[in-house]
Amino acid sequence: MEPTQNSSVSSVGLKSAIKTEANRLGFTLFGVTEPKTPDTLPDFLSWLAQGRNGSMDYLAVERAVARRADPRLILPDVRSVIVLGLRYPRPADLPASAASGLHGRVAAYAWGKDYHDLIPPRLEQLAKFIQSRMDQPLAYKAYTDTGPILERDLASRAGLGWMGKNTCLIDPQSGSYYLLAELFINIRLENDLPFTTDHCGSCRRCIDACPTGCILPDRTLDARRCISYLTIENKGNVPTELRPQLGDWVFGCDICQQVCPWNIRFASPEFDSGLSPQAENARPDLMAALSLTPHDFNRQFKGSPILRARRRGYLRNAAVVLGNFRDARAVPALAIALQSDSEPLVRAHAAWALGQIGGDAARQVLDQCSGSETDAEVLAEITAAQIACQDGGRSGIRAAR
């Protein structure tokens, strides 16, 4: 049975009070929609069928797919879904890097605290607020990237914006630097009008700027080639042909949002204080990163989204970016990683990076390690890197560095 509101509160008054409270909690975007099968469910299913989710198997689990299709499997009495947006810093406001050292780039949503920790208590507070206005118990489910729902579909249906060609949810007033969160509730609130217009027009800046060409014409991504996937979700090797495309991205990627005219013109410099940048996490020193022990890594990134990559993924990314910099100052740090890191994944990518840098010092380290390395995959990377060094020497490209 649907719970009744306190007799003194009208449905419109309740929605407006919830919106005010949501704003107070930092959610600058707010909308309400009905819990129905997502309009874009067929797009999601076809995306899965083509394997574009890569190793993100949790997206394809049968139970999770069924829940995406039917919100009642999430909350049987669900009547409305409140969709919220929390603003994070603009990538262009990246803190200045230190004077020396080689620094990588981290996606702006991950500069501060982990939103998976920051947002849920606020959703609980919002639910408590709603409960305080009800005569009967409120049933609810709260999500922020934490459940089997299509958050962008819900957000566009709740009127928050449209799904751009880069697949991000874009608010025409303030761009796409938002994280989404939802509250499924067993009371009915008035729906907002869905966002039905497409403001991308003939623009294709995101498609042209994406370094790996993973933005597809059907408004989905091939996640397997997306730098965000490769540096965060992917737990194995970064495919050799995609390593140069990582550029300096060591965790996530913001390029397809940074080039978007809606962000260039309208993204606000204001963001939630909980997502304030921590300089050393936003622009990390990559040589220092390579020397992080498991204990140091867990301590430095406690409470940060970067923890998700795990130490071996993060150091793998750091090695790739150092390889892309092709700066001989990185050779000693890469040499130590190749000689002594306990993770074959890190050693393999350190070898690749040394091959990219080339020169006598890098070649010597590779030659030494080819005699002592026991892991077959790392040995194969060392051999490929030795060849890359020779090629560099012949062409004279790396000798000049």
DSSP state of 304: S
> Counting Cβ atoms within 10 Å, is residue 400 exposed (0-12), middle (13-18) or buried (19+)?
exposed
Of 309, 388, 387, 374, nearest in space to 338 by CA:
374
**Using rule CB under 6 A, residue 149 touches ligand B12:** yes
Query: For residue 249, which amino acid is it?
Result: W
- Beta carbon of residue 152, minimum distance to ligand SF4 (angstroms, whole number): 12
Alpha carbon distance, N-terminus to C-terminus of the chain: 72
Of 157, 196, 162, nearest in space to 176 by CA:
162
50 Cβ neighbours under 8 A, 6+ residues apart: none
- Beta carbon of residue 233, minimum distance to ligand SF4 (angstroms, whole number): 11
Nearest residue to ligand B12 on Cβ basis: 252
Residue with token string 């217009």: 197
Q: State both tokens at 91.
A: 């990538």
Interface with ligand B12 in residues 223-262 (CB under 6 A) = 223, 226, 228-229, 233, 252-254, 256
Q: State both tokens at 208.
A: 């042209």
Q: Considering beta carbons, is residue 175 or 358 the nearer one to ligand B12?
A: 175
Q: Where are the alpha helices (DSSP H) in 233-307?
A: 255-258, 261-266, 279-282, 286-290, 294-300
For the question of residue 391 being annotated catalytic, the response is no
Nearest residue to ligand SF4 on Cβ basis: 164
**Using rule CB under 6 A, residue 321 touches ligand B12:** no
**Using rule CB under 6 A, residue 317 touches ligand B12:** no
Catalytic option among 135, 145, 208, 367? 145
Q: Considering beta carbons, is residue 149 or 389 the nearer one to ligand B12?
A: 149
Q: Give the footprint of ligand SF4 on this chain (CB under 6 A).
A: 164-166, 200, 203-206, 210-212, 214-215, 221, 226-228, 253, 255-256, 259-262
Q: 3-class DSSP state for residue 206?
A: helix
Q: Considering beta carbons, is residue 150 or 357 the nearer one to ligand B12?
A: 150
Tell me which residues touch ligand B12 (CB under 6 A).
38, 40, 43-44, 47, 56, 59, 107, 109, 144-145, 149-153, 163, 166-169, 176, 178-180, 218-221, 223, 226, 228-229, 233, 252-254, 256
Active site residues: 145
